[in-house]
Amino acid sequence: MTVVEPLLEDTAAPSRQSLFALGCLNFFLAGMQTAFGPIAAAYLAAQQWTAQDIGFVLSIGGIASLISQGPGGELLDTVRAKRLLVATAVVTIALSSLIFYLWPSFTVVALAEVLQGITGGVLGPGVVAITLGLVGHAALAERLGQNQRFAAAGGVLVTVTMAVVVYANSPWAMFVPVALAVPVLVSLGQIRSEEIDFRRASGAEQGRPERATRDAALLRNHRLLIFAFCAVLFQLANASMLPLVGGMLASEGKKQAAPLIAALIIVPQLIVALLAPWVGQQAEKRGRKPIVLPGFAALPIRAMLFAMISDPYVLIVTQILDGITGAALGVMTPLVIADVTKGTGRFNLAQGIFGAIMGVGASLSPTLTGLIVHRFGPSAGFVSLAAVGLVAFLVVAILLPETK
């Protein structure tokens, strides 16, 4: 009689310590990433950098992040020490922040941006890999919801804190990411390494096929390809929407623009913190597609409302839709990838590929939208974003099968 070995995910039993530390890791890491992004441009502007030079070094960082996605995923699928990879990325961001403060020259800052950019291939995907390694595929949906809640809460806290720091024109602004690196590393250290199963963390099962076969399977996976196409369309429609709103507010009234833009950022994060755990629970009960569809549907609706609304406070209320999208897709994207790559051992490589193509969409979005706005005005820009978002929704609704 043949003895069948149980799937590794069935034996996943992480301790309360590891799960609590995972929540703290998401909280402080989201805050650290939130702090570094806005601070960089603001700090360089205060150092009398031109907009052209700021845009150039930030673009360098963006390109480095795009390039790092695939290799980062490959590294996460290969290296057992997931915590070490994440810790290295955290320390790199902290050092990059110090470089900005101590040596704000163009060459050194460009190097810092490259260092910070290459962490993108292992930081976010690494946390998801650790989560999968801890809880297994069966419990991944609910745990991703909890991760999103902690991350959104951390982002809100740091956004509010940074608004105060920037308003006070404090010279210590660039030290916020450095300070947050400490609790991030402490939280990471409290996750028990022996509970992070290597095979689970890469989406592998017993008796997995050879690597070449697994890589080829990714290219033939029609569900993965459909979802990737929709992700590109989503980023094309979403990435430039909030900057376009911010530009409109700034042109209409500079004094109230800053707090309104902060509110536009904070409101979706609050909604994500409230909804994300529920999203994870529903994804496990009802399946993935009933949750993915509202996430995609909210995008074109929000774009059309932005095209028709001028009252800034109504715009803030409209951002609730962005929170719905963030909660749904923030949980569903890694979950659907885990579904369609289960058993391949290439979950993290698929995450890296997704990160790269979404980055391409996000990079193209401001340029294409800017051309439309320059020629036809902001309303036409929002309508074009709504059209792209609607196509993404229709593709998901018609072509993407249930992945659970």
CA distances from residue 312 to 254, 292, 368 in whole angstroms, order as listed: 13, 29, 25
Going along the chain from its start, the domains and CATH numbers come out as 17-197 (1.20.1250.20), 218-404 (1.20.1250.20)
pLDDT in tens, 63-80: 888 899 989 999 999 998
Q: CA-to-CA distance for 137 and 147, rounded, in angstroms?
A: 15
Average pLDDT over residues 58-63: 80
Q: CA-to-CA distance for 231 and 371, rounded, in angstroms?
A: 22
Between 317 and 242, the higher pLDDT residue: 317
Between 262 and 269, the higher pLDDT residue: 269
Q: Please give the model's pTM, rounded to 2 decimal places.
A: 0.86
Is 30:155 a contact under the CB 8 Å cutoff? Answer: yes
Is pLDDT at 390 greater than 90 in this prediction? yes
Q: CA-to-CA distance for 63 and 374, rounded, in angstroms?
A: 25
Lowest average pLDDT, out of 22-31, 41-50, 126-135, goes to 41-50
Q: CA-to-CA distance for 180 and 33, rounded, in angstroms?
A: 9
Q: CA-to-CA distance for 234 and 165, rounded, in angstroms?
A: 33
Crossing angle of helices 140-167/254-286, nearest 10°?
Answer: 170
| Token digits of residue 60 | 């360098």
| Token digits of residue 319 | 């951002």
Q: CA-to-CA distance for 278 and 145, rounded, in angstroms?
A: 7
pLDDT in tens, 115-143: 888 898 899 999 999 999 999 999 999 99
The closest of 236, 185, 217 to 367, measured between CA atoms, is 236
CA-atom Rg of the chain in angstroms: 21
Q: CA-to-CA distance for 152 and 172, rounded, in angstroms?
A: 24
| Token digits of residue 117 | 């950019």
Average pLDDT over residues 367-393: 90
Structure confidence at residue 171 (pLDDT) = 61
CA distances from residue 22 to 83, 148, 196, 274, 291 in whole angstroms, order as listed: 11, 11, 12, 18, 24
